[in-house]
Structure 1
């Protein structure tokens, strides 16, 4: 019996050691991901150079770009890297903060498990601590009602890497589209950013959409045009052409399409945007009628053109309707101009919903891509602030939240308190990293700020990264949008607990294995 019991205990210890090893291995992999982006955080953060096997070079301090482009093999590390993509899609900024929070939660959680705290208790505590922090975060937020609010300018400046020209462009565009448009669920101001090395930076009321101009002999400029927007292809109705009857039917369909287009040419339409391809014969008819045609567009751009010009997206089969009925589907704009060097159509002052386009230029392709990413971050941050308000930046809000989580931990009974402590530790990380990147001692400065925040009961005190002194971040104009911070912590909590739940890693068999 004793030997059997020893065998059972040995197997149990082996299983526990295997779980611990898997957890520590995952924590180390996650830590390496955080190390790749941590140096970019804050106003003194530096750039990362990404180099491909083919020699392609990208220089950036954009967290999501770094994580998307770098080679990541470890599955747990890939889970953390996916946070950046989710953060980017949801709010367009804060990818580095989300990554650091997740990595620290995993690291602190693994430490607690290694000390003997059951992983289930750690996970429950982390969830509890994150939820408490999210609720407290909403209480700290300051709303923005006025589009000319100075805080909005500060948010654009911070997210725009302190580039004044980018800040001005983004703010001009935000004012142009207005608060109501920024609040729309499906609208993304960041999508208005277009960068090119051969354009002058600026903002205009309208759209810049990619597409192929077909009839080059037609003028590329149309003033006060009537606009027709077509989804799908402008080709004859397809038929089975393996028989003579099929070929005859196809020819009949082509003749029907041509007659339909000739009817359009007689109407007041001036430009046609087509999502797909255009039949060559139909193209000739359109050219003869002096109609400008832009084809091979994305579905997203087709919908944006329709929305901005006030048009309705038609299908090919709808074109058979009488002209009087079709005209109800047309849109209008002040000007449509096709720019050959960009491969884009510029639509100015459409009759539908307002849009703004931000043009960003730079000297080279490499630099212009980074400028585009910076402008997109600034635009996303401004829109997020309009939607949800703002918090003190520089890690000040997170440090204040850490204090609230520590208070909450004292009320938690049992071993879940260890998981709550992991959340408090993680909330120290943003300021600690910002201070370290500025060249100061993070341990000294963070503790100093923490003590002064408690003494003054302030959530906005942080470190001036130029002078190394404690300052009020809000007074300095260093603020961050609430949705960015909220989603970063929420996503970090979700992915960290998912990783902590993994007790072993097993390789899957190949698809062709027996």
Structure 2
């Protein structure tokens, strides 16, 4: 999908509206086509191939969008909202992409009919705002982690893999509802994967590290933990200064201060030091002899989690000039540290800080374990989203019901903004239509059949059974989705589609300016 800069340059230096809008819509349509086949229970996988022959097979929308080559700037904007969807709620990226593409398509149709773009944009915003309000009113809350709907949501999000469903639900139980409601906590971050590990859930952390000394500390009822940001090495003066007496003396002083620091750490009786960067070899050797485990090159995010789990403060070596008592008060506590050498991780359990759970997922090969890790993260994100916001009927049923509501709302809108509201109603048909198509049925026929029955029965939960091709109640079938996933997908799609519809002209940037922005 390449942005045809050469073609633009050969005709003119810019594309005017609506030619620019048409070109943007075409690019976004191509982007949506790359992920639409993965949607729904009958969605298939996509194979991503790099120039060296590397292969990734997945049906995860955000993975496809992250790894595929996207050159067109408007398509990049839509891919960006899909990534934002993943970061915000961890699922629903394909739905967000399809809704954005449908909104741009429907908006383009109205502009081509002669409706002013400003009126279309205003109408889309009104329609999206109304749909989001109605969506919130439809949601059913989840008050108990033992609610059977939570199990069903995990099962659906885990692509109906029972082992992953059980692992995610167990982890949710371990951390508790209060932790799941914490806006800074993401259960999906608790997922780690390795092809040579046994799948399990435990209360604690599994932290990757580059290197760890092999000598085990003496058993103790409680282990002090010290997470260190940056390197654990003596400061060095620049090479030019070393040739002078003053520079050499300064370097020797820095070494002496570092040695005193190591003595202070040993006196603290710390059992584990986890370092973000490099560790001085001599210091590592002395700490090992003192029975202290030292983990090298630990990811900063993992260090933050270790500090929170053990109740420690993340410190820099420059902070070690505090008194022994002050440093001791800033260390964390845990009950056990186990190094799993062949996996390249260490396990920390019995932390005295905030609760954490780890979901360890295994598989037969590197390729398969990567996909299972993505699936487990999706399931964990879906469970947390449902606890935070409740759930709605899935299978595209709620979007179709919202489309009916938006159509009725459009009858109350005066002026040309009604055409933008109509664009929202039409776009909301897209998720179910795509799922029906992926299941091998005629979307025009089946969507209208569902729509008619929804209206006749005043139901927002009727959808299509993709196995039998008959209209069924999605809630009765156990097909439900978390409200935050649906809400954020529609909200993000509305934002990016109106931003694209506002683009009046596409102008080729000067090469020097373009290179500066890259």
Counterpart pick for 1:31 among 13, 17, 29: 29
Seen in structure 2, the aligned counterparts of structure 1 residues 73 and 17 have a Cα distance that, compared at 3 Å, is: closer
> Which range moves more in the overlay, 376-385 or 469-478?
469-478
Counterpart pick for 2:85 among 84, 87, 95: 87
State the distance in 2 between where 1:434 and 1:143 align: 26
What is the aligned length? 500
> Which range moves more in the overlay, 249-258 or 389-398?
249-258
> Which range moves more in the overlay, 309-318 or 164-173?
309-318
Residue 321 (structure 1) shift: 3.0
Q: Is the 8 A contact 2:15 2:507 kept in 1?
A: no
Counterpart pick for 1:162 among 160, 163, 179: 160
State the distance in 2 between where 1:145 and 1:226 align: 37
Partner of 2:304 in structure 1? Answer: 303
State the distance in 1 between where 2:301 and 2:181 align: 19
Residue 349 (structure 1) shift: 2.4
Residue 220 (structure 1) shift: 11
Output the aligned Cα RMSD: 2.0
Deviation sequence 1:209-263 (CA, Å, 0-9, x none): 1223343345699874221122222222444443222222222222222222223
Q: Is the 8 A contact 2:228 2:273 kept in 1?
A: yes
Partner of 2:335 in structure 1? Answer: 334
Residue 125 (structure 1) shift: 0.7
Residue 164 (structure 1) shift: 0.8
Seen in structure 2, the aligned counterparts of structure 1 residues 116 and 250 have a Cα distance that, compared at 3 Å, is: same
Residue 82 (structure 1) shift: 1.1
Partner of 1:247 in structure 2? Answer: 248
Deviation sequence 1:382-403 (CA, Å, 0-9, x none): 1111111111100111111101
Residue 315 (structure 1) shift: 2.3
Deviation sequence 1:398-430 (CA, Å, 0-9, x none): 111101100010011111111101100111111
State the distance in 1 between where 2:487 and 2:416 align: 26
State the distance in 2 between where 1:455 and 1:317 align: 71
Matches within 5 A, 1:282-431: 282-431=283-432
Q: Is the 8 A contact 2:15 2:505 kept in 1?
A: no
Structure 2 length normalisation: TM-score? Answer: 0.93
Deviation sequence 1:277-326 (CA, Å, 0-9, x none): 22222112112212100121222111110100111222213323333332
State the distance in 2 between where 1:509 and 1:220 align: 65
Q: Is the 8 A contact 2:230 2:276 kept in 1?
A: yes
Seen in structure 2, the aligned counterparts of structure 1 residues 512 and 376 have a Cα distance that, compared at 3 Å, is: closer
State whether structure 2 residue 278 is matched by structure 1 residue 277. Answer: yes
Counterpart pick for 1:22 among 20, 23, 37: 20
Q: Is the 8 A contact 1:220 1:337 kept in 2?
A: no
Residue 79 (structure 1) shift: 1.2
State the distance in 2 between where 1:500 and 1:397 align: 26
State the distance in 2 between where 1:182 and 1:208 align: 19
Deviation sequence 1:19-75 (CA, Å, 0-9, x none): 222211111111111111111001111000011110010000000111111111211
Seen in structure 2, the aligned counterparts of structure 1 residues 274 and 223 have a Cα distance that, compared at 3 Å, is: farther
Q: Is the 8 A contact 1:142 1:391 kept in 2?
A: yes
Unaligned runs of 5+ in 1: 1-13
Partner of 1:149 in structure 2? Answer: 147
Partner of 2:72 in structure 1? Answer: 74
Matches within 5 A, 1:34-183: 34-183=32-181
> Which range moves more in the overlay, 463-472 or 213-222?
213-222
State the distance in 2 between where 1:510 and 1:148 align: 58
Structure 1 length normalisation: TM-score? Answer: 0.94
State the distance in 2 between where 1:424 and 1:348 align: 51
SS in 1 for 2:503: coil
Q: Is the 8 A contact 1:233 1:276 kept in 2?
A: yes
Seen in structure 2, the aligned counterparts of structure 1 residues 340 and 417 have a Cα distance that, compared at 3 Å, is: same
Seen in structure 2, the aligned counterparts of structure 1 residues 221 and 199 have a Cα distance that, compared at 3 Å, is: farther
Moved over 3 A (4+): 216-224, 237-242
Deviation sequence 1:162-191 (CA, Å, 0-9, x none): 111111111111111011111111111111
